[in-house]
């Protein structure tokens, strides 16, 4: 069985998929970059992360109250990675390249390495 892959310039599946996605955006008069919903989500996720992290650092919460906040913070950071950083890395966060780059580097602010992510990412995805 042939493995489905998105790599390679002559990939019929990738070309057809890209054509269908482009048609969808054009027929629905949508931009291929972020809109107010994406930017609102970014603001909410970032404020939530800063708020939870600050609460854990500033206040001496009992352990039973800290553990749920740890879990929520972890899920929130994952949401930032899956949404903000990923869209910036693909160049779809904004039409402005500098903003895409800044959002891709949000991984570094969370303790990750955008350098390592970009190496792996560029080997496995089309831009």
Q: What is the pLDDT of residue 106?
A: 84
pLDDT at 66: 94
> By percentage, how much of the chain surpasses pLDDT 90?
40
Q: How far apart are CA 68 and CA 103, in angstroms?
A: 27
Half-sphere exposure of 100 (CA within 13 A, CB side): 15
CA 35: distance to chain centroid? 14
What is the residue-averaged pLDDT of the chain? 84
Residues whose CB falls within 8 Å of the CB of residue 24, separated by 6 or more in sequence, listed in order: 30
| DSSP state at residue 85 | I
Please report the pLDDT score of residue 45 as a whole number. Answer: 95
pLDDT in tens, 72-95: 999 999 999 888 888 888 888 888
User: What is the pTM for the complete model shown?
Assistant: 0.72
pLDDT tens sequence across 3-39: 665 556 667 887 888 899 999 999 999 888 888 898 9
């Amino acid at each position: 069985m042939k493995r489905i892959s998105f790599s390679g310039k002559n990939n019929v599946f990738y070309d057809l998929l890209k054509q269908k996605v482009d048609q969808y955006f054009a027929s629905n008069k949508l931009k291929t970059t972020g809109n107010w919903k994406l930017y609102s989500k970014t603001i909410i996720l970032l404020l939530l992360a800063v708020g939870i992290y600050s609460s854990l650092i500033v206040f001496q919460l009992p352990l039973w109250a800290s553990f749920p906040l740890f879990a929520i913070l972890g899920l929130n950071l994952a949401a930032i990675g899956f949404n903000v950083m990923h869209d910036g890395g693909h160049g779809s966060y904004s039409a402005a390249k500098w903003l895409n780059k800044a959002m891709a580097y949000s991984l570094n602010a969370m303790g990750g390495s955008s350098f390592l992510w970009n190496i792996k990412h560029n080997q496995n995805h089309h831009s």
